[in-house]
Amino acid sequence: MSNRILIVDDEPNIVLSFSSLLQDSGYPTDSAGSFDEAVRKLRAGEISLVLLDLNLPDRSGIEFLKLLKEEPSPPLVLVISGQSEISTALEAVKSGALDYLEKPVPPEKLLASVRTALMLRDANRQRSLLVDDLDTQSRLVGSSRAMKTLLRSIEKVAPSDATVLITGANGTGKELVATRIYLQSNRRDKPFIKVNCPGIPETLFESELFGHKRGAFTGAVKDYPGKFILADSGTIFLDEIGDLPIECQAKLLRVLETGEVETLGAVDRTHVNVRVICASNRELLGLVDEGKFREDLYYRVSVLVVNVPPLRHRPDDIPLLVGEFLRRFDPAGVTRLAPEAMEVLTAYDYPGNVRQLKNIVERLTILHPETTIGSSEVAIQLAQGAPSVPEAGSKALSERLRQYEKEIIRQVLVEHAGNIAAAARSLKMDRGNLSRKIRELGLKDE
């Protein structure tokens, strides 16, 4: 995917300075000194980001922003201008600019803004993919090294009929991985039956998985084939198999070893051809040592093992995931995240993994609809979701978020020479809320 950046400015020294800085950081650049030249460059090739000066010799940069709205796939725009009037900045953002940077821009600030803008570009592209089928709904979002390793593992195990054990913490997406294995297998046109093992009462386990005949027990008012027979010729997914009671494990092992299902109340056994995929967030070998999981069952279900990494091991995927969730919860694409908000989301550890990130984005779209969400709103949601008891040897997540929020506000206040009104506009916060935050965080006394 291209990261080409178009610098639109009629000052050669500015163009040379920006180009050198960006190219040294690995970003290919192009330049245009006028409105018309910028339009030609934009339409001649893929541009990911535009650094736009508002004072162009032929037409204004604001007109360029308005023209971009009519393009089918417009790039994101960072306005970089010598005009310091607030009204000009507001007009630029209202016309579609992602952010407004005042000249002269410190190199580190320019690079940080470019990085976050390109991250948002990836997120926006991700959420523009609107498809309804299972293949798309269950796709694994991400391009990190950890995600590429996972995708290669899926490609290797999918064609086989061998039993697969998917390991990983809660919220990492083990069910999605199971679905991808099914879709990439030779059984993708056959049944795919999902079973939540902890959700089945022990007394009903045998009936639920292997079926029963009418009258086999009290309450059996009609025949029920059971999950394994329903999955015949296809795939069955046994989620959180480590939570199965030990008595149920013996009955499952018999089916895995023989391929024969004993339906309650039936005289004959039924042979099934089912590919079995299991998942567990618990260490099964540890459960074997504790006598809570059968060793022979473990070796039956772990012929092939696929591990799903936690989200903290693939932070580069967070912007893509955020884009995917924004698309789901705000299909109109009105709700956006400010660059600093994306930075806060990317820096978080996510003990609840992808599921936690999804819940955070959903809450943000509900609480702040049709707005550009800032870092303070994100930090509040992360603090609310942080565990109340910190891990040994580490600060509580809520305290770490408080320090992060305090540092952001301190930096913005320094940039605006202590002007609370200007800082509030920069943070996209209400002035009263910012004043309250300054008092709460102890910044007033610094």
Burial 408-430 (b: 16+ CB within 10 A, else e): bbeebbeebeeebebbbbbbbbe
**Sign of the C-alpha dihedral computed for residues 429, 433, 438 and 442 taken in this order:** negative
Q: How many residues does the chain have?
A: 446
Query: What is the rounded average pLDDT of the residues 370-383?
Result: 85
Q: What is the pLDDT of residues 405-443, one digit of tens each?
A: 777 787 778 777 788 888 887 777 778 778 888 888 877
* Residues forming a β-bridge with 239: 196
Choose the most confident range, by mean pLDDT, from 117-126, 158-167, 376-385, 412-421.
Answer: 158-167
Q: What is the pLDDT of residues 169-188, one digit of tens each?
A: 999 999 999 999 998 999 88
Query: What is the rounded average pLDDT of the residues 117-135?
Result: 58
pLDDT at residue 100, rounded to an integer: 87
Among 46, 44, 51, 49, CA closest to 17 = 51
pLDDT at residue 68, rounded to an integer: 86
Least confident of 81-90, 190-199, 302-311: 81-90
Distance CA 139, CA 327 (A): 14
Q: Is 261:255 a contact under the CB 8 Å cutoff?
A: yes
pLDDT at residue 387, rounded to an integer: 46
Token pair of 342 as six digits = 């994306």
Are 5-105 and 312-440 in the same CATH fold?
Answer: no
How crowded is the C-beta side of 238, counted as CA atoms within 13 Å? Answer: 26
* Residues forming a β-bridge with 387: none
Query: What is the rounded average pLDDT of the residues 121-144?
Result: 62
Least confident of 10-14, 284-288, 303-307: 10-14
Three-class DSSP category at 138:
coil
Residue 369: band (very low, low, confident or very high) from pLDDT cuts 50, 70, 90: confident
pLDDT at residue 404, rounded to an integer: 67
* pLDDT tops 70 at residue 126: no
334: enclosing H helix or E strand: none
Q: What is the pLDDT of residues 313-329, one digit of tens each?
A: 999 999 999 998 998 89
Least confident of 40-49, 106-115, 435-444: 435-444
CA distances from 413 to 362, 417, 422 (A): 30, 6, 8
* pLDDT tops 70 at residue 241: yes
The arrangement of secondary structure in 5-105, i.e. its CATH architecture, is 3-Layer(aba) Sandwich (3.40)
**Residue 349, Ramachandran bin (φ over 0: left; ψ between -120 and 50: alpha; else beta):** alpha
pTM value?
0.59
Distance CA 15, CA 33 (A): 9
Q: Is 27:51 a contact under the CB 8 Å cutoff?
A: no
Strands 372-373 and 76-81: unpaired
**How many beta carbons lie within 10 A of that of residue 272, not counting itself?**
20
Choose the most confident range, by mean pLDDT, from 79-83, 120-124, 296-300, 379-383.
Answer: 296-300
CATH of domain 312-440: 1.10.8.60
The full set of domain ranges for the chain reads 5-105, 145-310, 312-440
Residue 2: band (very low, low, confident or very high) from pLDDT cuts 50, 70, 90: low
Residue 394: band (very low, low, confident or very high) from pLDDT cuts 50, 70, 90: very low
- DSSP string for residues in 154-191: HHHHTTS-S-EEEE--TTS-HHHHHHHHHHTSTTTTS-
* pLDDT tops 80 at residue 400: no
Residue 132: band (very low, low, confident or very high) from pLDDT cuts 50, 70, 90: very low
CA distances from 179 to 109, 147, 150, 324 (A): 42, 16, 13, 18
pLDDT at residue 310, rounded to an integer: 94
pLDDT at residue 396, rounded to an integer: 53
Distance CA 206, CA 183 (A): 28
Report the percentage of the chain scoring pLDDT > 70: 90
Residue type, 375: S
pLDDT at residue 422, rounded to an integer: 83
* pLDDT tops 90 at residue 161: yes
Distance CA 294, CA 283 (A): 13
Residue 393: band (very low, low, confident or very high) from pLDDT cuts 50, 70, 90: very low
Token pair of 281 as six digits = 């967030």
Q: For the chain, percent helix, then strand, then coil, each to nearest 5?
A: 50, 15, 35
* pLDDT tops 60 at residue 331: yes
pLDDT at residue 392, rounded to an integer: 39
Distance CA 262, CA 226 (A): 10
* pLDDT tops 80 at residue 384: no
State whether CATH 3.40.50.300 applies to domain 145-310.
yes
Residue 127: band (very low, low, confident or very high) from pLDDT cuts 50, 70, 90: very low
Distance CA 9, CA 30 (A): 11
